[in-house]
Structure 1
């Protein structure tokens, strides 16, 4: 999820663990705990694009990280804070780290919760920014902050925020299943043979859902809103994997394919090869558009080394996409 949401979650978890003992300091350190796992983004400054993508939401989002580093942070805080309980601070950081990772596991990117095992959990039930999850949570956290640490209302407000956000997160599984069923029925009705369906919510909501359909030679992309009255339609995108040629055997290319879980197309423009990660969809609702959210130019230097260069996104395209998504969310 986005950093702000993780701060809110961490703060609420910190309050649940130590609010009665240290009042708003529990919220402060909980917010810090909710931020720490995302510091892995700095790997992009020290390594290549593909390796940075592999590292992101890896070790720092694992149970192992929570077990190893929660005691360290707990010890450091207990050394200088008035409240000296090492165990209490350790539990605060442990649950701050772990709930961060569990929440991220519900997004499209997912997390390597069980690192070092090569297993990325990605339930794909919620977009990285979802106001329906974050805003009610934030309101009750603010109400909590203005209560005395001995007040029953303090724990009550914080618990309500945790219950509402968790209930909504559980509801997203039901919504995903309902959308998945609609895509499955549409494919059967249209007589489309497929190998795999991958569904995810569109930005900022869980009403409009997108699907990637894996067929033998192409991917089909479709959208479904719970307000739809017309049948689902699918756009076809050729895989073009053969354009990679001998690059398909390159270790960096194999690594990138693993990162995108095999959901990719290759396009060629002006003698340049582009790798398109399908998991995050398009920057346009225009039929057969090729403006994928994550698009990389594949460059090979004189020594045969392969680099993936992420293509810049146009802010105007993003604004237009949000406007188009809002219209599409209302139904077809």
Structure 2
């Protein structure tokens, strides 16, 4: 999930665990514990763009890291707060729960997470919720504001529990949407007699109602969109050839090897003028619900330019004008 979501969830858990003994310090420790796995951002200072893609949500998001960090961080905070009489076991529960929740939440969106690093490079992606979903985060954000302002209020712990409970209920709603969309997509693909080997469905930006669908065959991908509010049992698919021949002679390149691994094989290659482009299909298209031929959000330049900073964010930010938002809302309605 996005950093803000981890911060507000971490603070809420901090309040529940230690707010009575530590006061506002419990919020800060909660934020720190929930954000700890994201220290992988440091890799961007020395790694190449493709190395950074693999470092993000890599080892620091593994079960091994969670176990190590839990022990050493619990030991440090137990000594730091000796006078507050909080046991080492309680601190281990606090740190362990925070980090495991972080790892669980990050497995729910499209990027993928390396739970089993360094023993396996397999990435886990359940594709249940968009990386930044306001309806998931808003409740704990409001609870955090309340606790900061009314830090002596006797019901602040109850507010934190209530906020987390609402977020959990919303997450269960997202899971139900995922199951429904999966059922409908498989049925429609069968009705259209589209042969495919594997597929995935994932929510579009900032919502859990309009879903992006990719079905892979031997030479490319069928791409479409489906709203949970749609009354039509139909999906309009566009076809995107893989064009793997464009990468011929480049497979020895470290960048190409990293991109193939990162994309989990969901990629196309394109020639934009003099520039060879690698697209990772997992992150959707730039307002693809408006234009089925729109560029993909994740597009990496393999030649012609070295402008690959913000390689994922630039595509997401490109779909933020009023027309794109209006068409997104219209598509969510099932139109």
- Answer yes or no: same fold by TM over 0.5: yes
Runs (4+) off by over 6 Å: none
Give the Cα–Cα distance (whole angstroms) in 2 for the partners of residues 38 and 67 of structure 1: 16
The total of aligned residue pairs comes to 325
Q: 104, 112, 118: which one pairs with 2:106?
A: 104
Contact 1:62 1:98 in 2 (8 A): no
Aligned to 1:304: none
Structure 1: gaps spanning 5 or more residues: 302-306
Aligned to 2:243: 240
TM-score (norm: length of structure 2): 0.88
Note the C-alpha offset of 1:93.
2.6
Deviations 1:51-87 (A, max 9, x none): 1111111111122222212333334444444526361
Equivalent positions of 1:208-247 (< 5 A) are: 208-230=210-232, 231-247=234-250
Contact 1:50 1:308 in 2 (8 A): no
Note the C-alpha offset of 1:296.
0.7
Contact 2:214 2:221 in 1 (8 A): yes
Deviations 1:281-324 (A, max 9, x none): 111334342421110111399xxxxx893565495543243332
Aligned to 1:32: 32
Give the Cα–Cα distance (whole angstroms) in 2 for the partners of residues 298 and 10 of structure 1: 39
Give the Cα–Cα distance (whole angstroms) in 2 for the partners of residues 187 and 171 of structure 1: 24
CA gap 1:65/1:6 in 2 versus in 1, 3 angstroms: same
TM-score (norm: length of structure 1): 0.89
Contact 1:111 1:120 in 2 (8 A): yes
Deviations 1:90-135 (A, max 9, x none): 4333322221111111111132123223232211100011111111
Contact 1:113 1:121 in 2 (8 A): yes
Matched, 1:298 2:302: yes
Note the C-alpha offset of 1:234.
0.4
Contact 1:283 1:318 in 2 (8 A): no
* Higher deviation after alignment, 199-208 or 291-300: 291-300
Structure 2: gaps spanning 5 or more residues: none
Matched, 1:125 2:128: yes
* Higher deviation after alignment, 123-132 or 170-179: 170-179
* Higher deviation after alignment, 96-105 or 317-326: 317-326
* Higher deviation after alignment, 202-211 or 156-165: 156-165
Note the C-alpha offset of 1:253.
1.7
Give the Cα–Cα distance (whole angstroms) in 1 for the partners of residues 157 and 147 of structure 2: 7
* Higher deviation after alignment, 24-33 or 156-165: 156-165
CA gap 1:125/1:313 in 2 versus in 1, 3 angstroms: closer
Contact 1:282 1:293 in 2 (8 A): yes
CA gap 1:193/1:308 in 2 versus in 1, 3 angstroms: farther
Secondary structure at the counterpart of residue 299 of structure 1: coil
Contact 2:276 2:304 in 1 (8 A): no
